[in-house]
Chains A and B, each alone.
Chain A
């Protein structure tokens, strides 16, 4: 059973507009959520995270929103830039456990 779900395999957004990537989770024990970015032939790199005690975390152009009641989080990128074209993975962990579980990823295409 998939605990972290990214239901959109791909997303295309015009350069300069907002990109919104979504993630749902099923495990209510998850209390820390992260987004990773991956370019082809490279390892994923950490982008931004949020603890379950918050509902929003912002870092420059990147903002993550957490809705615990809906078990849903989203990553907003604004404005979108060509270098944002990559695969984005949502991940989650529970404090009692060292496992870090990833979703399947969403491929973001920024269109010129």
Chain B
């Protein structure tokens, strides 16, 4: 059982380039999330989607866009990457609303030069 799959696992970008992080879950979960992890900052919520067709801003949404393509897939797009977006990005899914039990992917390490 794959769980939550993120691609790519590693990416290096130049400032101003764009890219999309892909996330897919095979657990039929309703809610999906994107977090970033930075040293000393913990996990910060970028965007989340409570159900197919809905998305909402989290704590640090600036510079990002998301698409909940269908129930399985939730992508995160950087339109014009900045060095401040260098981070490890985690996608997560949850079977129920707001109970907090998240299933995380392995993470995508992004470096913006």
> How far is B107's CA from A101's CA once the two chains are assembled, in angstroms?
18
Closest Cβ of chain A to B73, distance in Å, is: 17
Contact of B98 among A45, A97, A103, A105 (CB under 8 A): A97
A32 proximal to B (CB < 8 A) = yes
**Most interface-central of A36, A95, A96, A100 (chain B CB within 10 A):** A100
Stretch at the interface among A12-20, A58-66, A70-78, A85-93: A85-93
**Contacts known (A43-B4, A43-B107); A100 close to B40, Cβ less than 8 A:** no
**Contacts known (A43-B106, A46-B102, A93-B99); A101 close to B40, Cβ less than 8 A:** no
Closest Cβ of chain B to A85, distance in Å, is: 18
Which residues in B have their C-beta under 8 angstroms from that of A6? 42
Name the CB-closest residue of A to B56. A98
B24 proximal to A (CB < 8 A) = no
Which residues in B have their C-beta under 8 angstroms from that of A104? 40-42
Name the CB-closest residue of A to B109. A41
Q: Are B45 and A99 in contact (CB under 8 A)?
A: yes
Contact of A44 among B31, B45, B90, B99 (CB under 8 A): B90
Interface size on B, residues (CB 8 A): 29
Interface size class of A (residues with CB under 8 A): 20 to 34
Binary contact readout B83-104 vs A (1 if CB under 8 angstroms, 0 otherwise): 0000000101010011111111
B33 proximal to A (CB < 8 A) = yes
B contacts, CB < 8 Å to A: 4, 31, 33, 35, 40-45, 48, 50, 56, 58-59, 90, 92, 94, 97-107
Q: Are A49 and B99 in contact (CB under 8 A)?
A: yes
Closest Cβ of chain B to A92, distance in Å, is: 7
> How far is B56's CA from A36's CA once the two chains are assembled, in angstroms?
23
Q: Are A43 and B98 in contact (CB under 8 A)?
A: no
Q: Are B100 and A32 in contact (CB under 8 A)?
A: yes
Closest Cβ of chain A to B101, distance in Å, is: 5
Closest Cβ of chain A to B4, distance in Å, is: 7
Q: Are A100 and B45 in contact (CB under 8 A)?
A: yes
